[in-house]
């Protein structure tokens, strides 16, 4: 899990992607050693005058949601893959996972925290996901004095972008609940379920997921 300033608002990847942005600064650079930081501020700055098509996976989806709600004129199209919400009432299963992960990180056991994340979120993708997750923890090292900032609630009805909500059929029930809420509260949002996929459909079913995203973004 990547630090965001609020618990359980991220998962094993920070996959922010925008068709106007090469990569997320959160995934490419260490967190600051002190002070506050905002991935949404970084993404908003990168978009310039917009508009842009945004694709966000997991915590990346939360970042895209925040930008699309506060600066709707910058986002023309939005694709969310198994995105969280900051005010979701998380299940005991997810809360217990989060507490265990925090404990391992506090002990400095980054290998243990990596193994936990891989086993919890992507057990069939260990060879692919483990190095990325370990790198994410390394980038967080030394940033205990900093804090990620973000809203406690995102006004979903403020989003004007065309929106596709994607969820893996085998993902945790929390993310199915969130996906349904996103479709209810974002105007004209569409829901797509990727079968034989869990929390990381873009890695578990890359061809199917890519076709979903491509088809949606090309449909004008």
Among left, alpha and beta (phi > 0; psi -120 to 50; other), residue 184 is alpha
CATH number of the domain bearing residue 29: 3.40.50.1820
Strand ranges for 69-181 from DSSP E? 75-81, 145-148, 162-168
pLDDT tens for 78-124 read 999 999 999 999 999 999 999 999 999 989 999 999 999 999 999 99
pLDDT tens for 96-107 read 999 999 999 989
Question: Which residues form the domain of 49?
Answer: 1-220
Predicted confidence (pLDDT) at residue 21 exceeds the cutoff of 60? no
Structural domains in the chain (count): 1
pTM of model > 0.95: no
Pick from 116, 94, 55: nearest CA to 172: 94
φ and ψ at 143, to 5 degrees? -110, 20
């Amino acid at each position: 899990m990547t630090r965001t300033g609020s618990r359980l608002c991220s998962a094993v990847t920070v996959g922010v992607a925008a068709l106007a942005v090469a990569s997320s600064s959160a995934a490419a650079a260490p967190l600051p050693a002190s002070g506050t930081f905002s991935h949404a501020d970084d993404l908003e700055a990168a978009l310039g005058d917009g508009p842009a098509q945004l694709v966000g996976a997991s915590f990346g989806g939360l970042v895209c949601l925040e930008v699309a709600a506060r600066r709707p004129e910058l986002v023309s199209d939005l694709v969310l893959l198994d995105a969280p919400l900051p005010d979701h009432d998380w299940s005991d299963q997810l809360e217990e996972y989060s507490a265990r992960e925090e404990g391992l990180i506090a002990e400095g056991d980054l290998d243990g925290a990596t193994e936990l994340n891989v086993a919890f979120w992507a057990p069939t993708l260990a060879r692919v996901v483990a190095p990325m997750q370990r790198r994410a923890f390394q980038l967080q090292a030394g940033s205990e004095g900093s804090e990620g900032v973000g809203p406690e609630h995102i006004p979903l009805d403020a989003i004007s972008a065309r929106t596709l909500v994607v969820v893996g059929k085998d993902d945790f029930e929390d993310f199915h609940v969130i996906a349904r809420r996103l479709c209810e509260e974002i105007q004209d949002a569409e829901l797509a379920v990727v079968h034989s996929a869990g929390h990381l459909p873009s890695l578990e079913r890359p061809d199917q997921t890519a076709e979903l995203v491509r088809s949606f973004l090309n449909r004008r």
